[in-house]
């Protein structure tokens, strides 16, 4: 696949030896650190991160992105610019670092047992309108307790009820994003099927 000149230069320099390669590594680290700072800052307000935390997380993300880029360089197929491919590792590493950081801010999230009294509020079901949602809620709770596996219930509770970010949960459980997403995907599909069968949700949107 034909690549642009800048990409070709990156690949040549990173695959070189001696001073050329060392200089390319230094340039790559600068590039990844700038990207990690930009990305961490982009997310900082929402997560209420301090300036020191932003800089620390950006350095960690850049260092791990650097390792990933170099380890996977032979897998780069030239389907995009080299820098776009490399930035992909940066955004993912920023997500991972922020997922780990969540537990330093919220060490007490228990990850066991669904606090059902909190679930109506999660879905915006107000006490004033309980008559409208009570029956649906009973069916929903029954489905969660009887149709989901223990693992699906644990994931549902952490992400939906406790609001644990998916990346924080994958760090805690030592798994990957796709595995958790798939568990939740299957749980959502099961729960929807029950609510559709009982007439509480439409067949298709």
Partner 1 sequence: MNDHIDLDAFLHTDPRDVGCEEATEALHVYAELYAADPQAARTRYPGIAAHLKACGPCSTDFEGLLALISE
The site for partner 1 (CB under 8 A) is made up of 35, 38-39, 42-43, 79-81, 83-85, 87-88, 90-92, 94-95, 121-124, 140, 160, 165-167, 176-178, 181-182, 185, 188-189, 191-192, 195, 201-202, 205
DSSP conformational letter for 157? I
DSSP conformational letter for 2? -
Positive or negative torsion for Cα 46, 51, 57, 59:
positive
Cβ of residue 17: shortest distance to partner 1, in angstroms?
27
**24 versus 168: smaller Cβ distance to partner 1:** 168
| Span between the terminal Cα atoms of the chain, in Å | 41
**21 versus 181: smaller Cβ distance to partner 1:** 181
Dihedral of the alpha carbons of 37, 38, 41, 42, in degrees to the nearest 10: -150
Contact 98, 42 (CB under 8 A): no
Cβ of residue 143: shortest distance to partner 1, in angstroms?
10
**9 versus 176: smaller Cβ distance to partner 1:** 176
**21 versus 81: smaller Cβ distance to partner 1:** 81
Q: What CA–CA distance (Å, rounded) separates 152 from 184?
A: 6
Cβ of residue 110: shortest distance to partner 1, in angstroms?
20
Cβ of residue 19: shortest distance to partner 1, in angstroms?
28
Q: What CA–CA distance (Å, rounded) separates 140 from 44?
A: 35
């Amino acid at each position: 696949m034909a690549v642009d000149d800048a990409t070709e230069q990156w690949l040549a320099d990173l695959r070189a030896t001696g001073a050329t390669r060392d200089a390319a590594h230094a340039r790559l680290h600068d590039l990844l650190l700038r990207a990690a700072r930009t990305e961490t800052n982009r997310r900082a307000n929402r997560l209420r991160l301090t300036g020191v935390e932003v800089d620390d997380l950006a350095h960690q993300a850049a260092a791990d992105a650097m390792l990933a880029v170099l380890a996977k360089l032979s897998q780069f197929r030239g389907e995009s610019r080299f820098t776009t491919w490399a930035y992909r590792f940066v955004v993912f590493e920023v997500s991972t670092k922020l997922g780990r950081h969540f537990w330093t801010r919220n060490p007490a999230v228990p990850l066991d047992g669904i606090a059902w009294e909190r679930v109506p509020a999660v879905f915006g079901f107000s006490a004033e309108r309980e008559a409208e949602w009570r029956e649906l809620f009973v069916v929903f709770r029954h489905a969660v307790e009887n149709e989901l596996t223990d693992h699906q219930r644990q994931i549902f509770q952490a992400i939906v009820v406790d609001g644990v970010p998916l990346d924080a949960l994958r760090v805690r459980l030592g798994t990957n994003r796709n595995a958790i997403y798939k568990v939740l995907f299957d749980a959502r599909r099961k729960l929807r099927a029950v609510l559709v069968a009982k007439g509480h949700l439409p067949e298709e949107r």
